[in-house]
Structure 1
Amino acid sequence: MNERLIVALDVHNIDTARNILDELDGIVSFYKIGMQLFTKFGPDIVEEVKRRGNRVFLDLKFHDIPNTVANAVYSAVDIGVDLLTIHTLGGFEMMEQAMKAALDGEDKKLRIVGVTMLTSLSDAFLKDILQVYDKSINDMVLILAKAAKSAGLDGVVASSFETRKIKEACGSNFLVVTPGIRPIGNDPFDQVRVATPEQAIKNGSDYLVVGRPIIKADDRAKAAMDIVEQMKRGAE
């Protein structure tokens, strides 16, 4: 179950990132590198995480014209990224070109998942900002997941609450990567659609992305192990 836990290295200091890697060595082997860390340290931080024998989830949510995104995917392949995010709202052609870039090699190692609706958004966003009154966030997630599947993506990023419907619509092998994971009693911070590790695994999520409940913990190793135990209960 440990391999299904992705720890988000959402820190701004390279020494803090290294401390997390040291403290979680042997417990966690998959790390998310997002905008905060990558903007400051670039490919070097990817290389360091990989050099320690870990996998890298590069969460930069590419969203641009198809050619630009495809070229960015080529770069991600070159630096050894294992999992990458792009925005499904970038359109079918953008997603399709991204997958072609990921597949352009003898051995496909990079998997791409599409970002549907951020877990910080609620139905009020659709109504108040987009003026969409006949769809819920859950509806939009499913629509975008189906589009991602049609474009050839490996899966999507979605909250635990949409996982079952996504699996039913797109197949059991279609990956669902779930952020917004909070153990019981943890502050949800800026996340809206949150779930416990046990709930997320029960609902069928393939990977759980956890940041602050681990990286802000006094004992990071214990926090990670506790989450793995909760994930195991969800699989029973």
Structure 2
Amino acid sequence: MRGYDFNFILQGICVFILVASIAAKLPSDIKPCAAGDGKCIIENINKVFAEKNQGDESFGLTKLEPFKMDDIIIKQDPANPVAIYLGLLRPVVYGVKNVRALKVKGFGKTPEGRHEILLETPYLSLLSDYKIDGKVLILPVKGEGKSNITLVQPLIKISIDATSRNENGNTFMDIKSLRVECKPKRLAMQFDNLFNGDKVLGENVNSFLNDNWKEIYGEVKIPFYEAIGKQMKVGAEKVFSATPYNEIFVI
């Protein structure tokens, strides 16, 4: 239920990929990159996170810190160890400005094939209203109120499989699939007002969730990855369909 903290970065990440080299639209303080120049692409991605997280309309970048997301709804099979309904409503993510790219693969002379981005950050915190009902391992969980789910020192990997399309003399990237994986050092959770505000029971459940975060994360990460990837793919398709690949990267 917390892999989604990094979703924020996911919707914005495709813009960061593109920052590598839309020469006609890039701000003057971001240099264009040659296709496949990983060092240059990483520098530009990091510049966007660090210096342009409040948005930059000159190349269509929206505000990233804090980052507002769509509601997140997760429904787990009752037979699973983590069998819950979890709704995270009006979520807002903090910590995007600290995200840094470590490595990129692909983004060469052709859009075809696999492209990857590896990111890190000290934390990503998702604050939202929540509603939860179900069972986590051996413990029943029920409540609604305010929540804070924080990924501590996560590594985030984004994988894009793409094909190439030629149109009016330009080359475009068509995305076949986009997948997300995340490995946090720790997960910190706080759900206020569990069990209608029962303070003792609420504190015990929050402690249990934090003590067992590895097991919980292992059970819910796949549906989170799928939900994030689907949302990211929609955002990425909009960017890559609007801007020719040969304008994004110098090829």
Higher strand content, 1 or 2: 2
Identify which of structures 1 and 2 has the higher relative contact order when contacts are C-alpha pairs closer than 8 Å and 6+ apart: 2
Higher helix content, 1 or 2: 1
How high is the TM-score relative to the length of structure 2? 0.24
Structure number with larger C-alpha Rg: 2
How high is the TM-score relative to the length of structure 1? 0.25
